[in-house]
Amino acid sequence: MAELAAKASTWWAIFQINFHEKLVYRGDFMLGTLMRFLPILTQIFLWSAIFSAKGGGESTGEEIAGYSYYNIVAYYLLSTVSRAFSSMPGLASGIALQIREGEIKKYLIQPLDLISFFLLNRIAHKLTYYIVALVPFAIVFILCRGYFSGWPPGHVLACYFTSLILSFMLGFFMEATIGMIGFWFLEVRSLLFVYMLFTFFLSGHMFPLDMLNELGGPWAMIIKSLPLMYLAYFPAAVFLEKITGAELMWGLIVQVGWVVFFIVASRLAFHYGVKQYSAYGG
């Protein structure tokens, strides 16, 4: 019990240090955070133009693959929230850089778990982000409240917040696994570029993935069998009640399964990566 309390105290101290570190350059951090809201306006104008073109100048009253203009804007706002949880800027490239330049050895000689350290660092980063972005997010959602039909039932909200937390865990362990590949290849930027490219299109950040159902063929099934859809599409679809009942429960189970898979994958990559890692000098 005393050992567990000592570990908890250590992790709490690491979290506090990381949290305060994020606030050192709070001016730059706040400006960067606020600039991320500009694409929201771009997407709203883009979808307005698409629906207006389809409706001969009127954006309302038309539907595309079962989505009205109001549905699609609401979906995009919610997928932005999902990506705020699941995106991990600089995580994989940072891990690979520390491996390549030998900085990672300072963690290996200390009595702490490297992956847990990075996880606490990322939790501190996200907490800082949410504190800064809370007011802008609230303003955007208040201004755009007309695009939503109302709050979903309590049990749907519970599933939505659960899927958001799982999307954070999934995004972290996926990128941590990619970063650990640096033990073998040292440089992972090309691999990370491919990952980011697929994530941008196949996570549902650009459009709802169930729009692909009308294409026919195996594409929709293939895309929905990938873990990427749980980074943006799934939480947003849960909130909008596009996924309900048994399908919702099954989706949450699969999301948990992917999180566990990448936890194991990152642990194995770190375990075997350290075995063949060499560091020289001071």
pLDDT in tens, 77-106: 899 889 888 988 888 888 888 888 888 877
Q: How far apart are CA 216 and CA 151, in angstroms?
A: 32
Q: What is the pLDDT of residues 26-74, one digit of tens each?
A: 676 667 766 666 777 787 888 888 888 877 666 666 778 778 888 888 9
Model confidence band, residue 1 (pLDDT cutoffs 50, 70, 90)? low
Of 30-34, 184-188, 238-242, 266-270, give the lowest mean pLDDT range. Answer: 30-34
Q: What is the CA radius of gyration of the chain?
A: 21
The pLDDT assigned to 182 comes to 87
E strand segments, 62-207:
63-64, 67-68
- 46 Cβ contact list (under 8 Å, min separation 6): none
At 246, give phi and psi (nearest 5°).
-65, -35
Whether the pLDDT of residue 16 is over 80: the answer is no
Give the separation between CA 120 and CA 9, rounded to whole angstroms.
13
pLDDT surpasses 70 at 229: yes
Question: 139 or 267: whose pLDDT is higher?
Answer: 267
Answer whether 86's CB lies under 8 Å from 258's CB: no
> Which residues does 55 contact at the CB level (< 8 Å), separation at least 6?
61, 62
Q: Mean of the per-residue pLDDT values for the chain?
A: 84
- Judged against a pLDDT cut of 70, whether residue 281 lies above it is answered with no
Highest mean pLDDT among 117-121, 203-207, 234-238: 234-238
